[in-house]
Amino acid sequence: MAPVIECEALTKCFRSLRAVDGLTFAVEPGSVVGFLGPNGAGKSTTIRLLLGFLRPSSGTSQLLGGRPLTEKSLLGRVGYLPGDFQMEPRMTGRELFRWFGRLRGRFDERRVDSLVERLDAQPDKPFGTLSKGNRQKIGIIQAFQHRPDVLLLDEPSTGLDPLVQQQFLRLLREAAEDGAAVLFSSHVLPEVERAVDRLIIIRAGRIVDQAAVEDLLLRARQRLDLRYRGPVPADVVGALPGVVHAAVHGCEATITVDGPVGPALRAAADLGDLQRIRTAGDELEELFLSYYADRPAHSVVAEVAP
């Protein structure tokens, strides 16, 4: 299927500051794409360019073949949640949902009621009286209420408790199954891993990687905790196959493995009476941090506790 979210060689400069530079990507119907990067990397700027809030200095950006702010027919087909969702403090969520319904030309009260129940939202209280998490629920509902063809979500799960996060992830998958194209930025890496089909990783306004989650995880280093019955030599642990970092404290060792873990674990079992193996870190987080770490790509270090 043809993509409905498109950026091609997109650049945006603010005076002498280049906010994004040479971004090229597309999001197809029925897919969920995660947009990752630290604060200031250019994620929000890119989303605002797609919506038409900003104009690119060069290149093109389109949603559904046009720009929502200049083509009113697209307003009812796009759902947007900004990173810092705000509304008139005296206004209630239910009033906001109806207002957006008039703006977009469609309002389904049963759909709204269903979303309110699923997210345990408080739509009849003034926005200014709500907690951060409850304000975020209102923002999510307004973005999903009209079953849009495109969803642009900027840090959508901020302030949500774990149970509501699970409901939000289900909403994402349901939207994709209905054919929506979804692009969302997040710092919650386990959430991204569970929700997305593909990742775009951005650094200083440039894409440093984009691929299917499964492909990225194959490249990710894995960090493992090993516990032996007795002490093990740090230099030997650091020399295990594929190990790029090792920290040894008496009977316990933490190793970081680049590539398949099988050879390292088989060799680790030969060092002594191996009692326990436990995953010590999130693979996606390790990969994400590797794009921003100042350390060399490969370094083997053995640390011995005094």
Q: What is the pLDDT of residues 100-125, one digit of tens each?
A: 999 898 899 999 999 999 999 999 99
- For 55, counting Cβ atoms within 10 Å of its Cβ (0-12 exposed, 13-18 middle, 19+ buried), the class is exposed
Q: Which residues are within 8 A (CB) of 200 and not within 5 positions of it... i.e. 6 or more apart?
A: 25, 33, 34, 35, 36, 207, 209, 210
> 278 near 265, Cβ under 8 Å?
no
Report pTM. Answer: 0.78
Concatenate the DSSP letters of all residues of 20-68 into one string: EEEEEEEE-TT-EEEEE--TTSSHHHHHHHHHTSS--SEEEEEETTB-T
Q: Per residue in 147-198, pLDDT tens?
A: 999 999 999 988 999 999 999 999 999 999 999 999 999 876 777 778 899 9
Q: Token pair of 255, please?
A: 């190793």
Q: What is the pLDDT at residue 234? A: 93
Q: What is the pLDDT at residue 282? A: 57
CA distance 87 to 173: 27
Alpha-carbon torsion (23, 29, 31, 35), positive or negative: positive
pLDDT band at 295 (very low <50, low <70, confident <90, very high): very low
Q: Per residue in 8-44, pLDDT tens?
A: 877 887 765 677 888 888 999 999 999 988 888 889 9
- 228 has pLDDT over 50: yes
Q: What is the pLDDT at residue 68? A: 64
> 302 near 235, Cβ under 8 Å?
yes
What is the percent of the chain where pLDDT is above 70?
A: 89
Mean pLDDT value across residues 255-264: 89
For the chain, what's the residue count?
A: 306
> Which one is predicted more confidently, 196 or 139?
139
Rounded to the nearest 10°, the torsion over CA 207, 211, 217, 223 is -10
Which residues does residue 198 pair with via DSSP β-bridges, in sequence order? 33, 212
Q: What is the pLDDT at residue 54? A: 86
Q: What is the pLDDT at residue 36? A: 87
Compute the C-alpha angle 56/57/59, nearest 5°.
65
**Helix (H/G/I), strand (E/B), else coil: 224:** strand
Domains of the chain, CATH where assigned:
5-217 (3.40.50.300), 220-304 (3.30.70.100)
> Which one is predicted more confidently, 279 or 301?
279
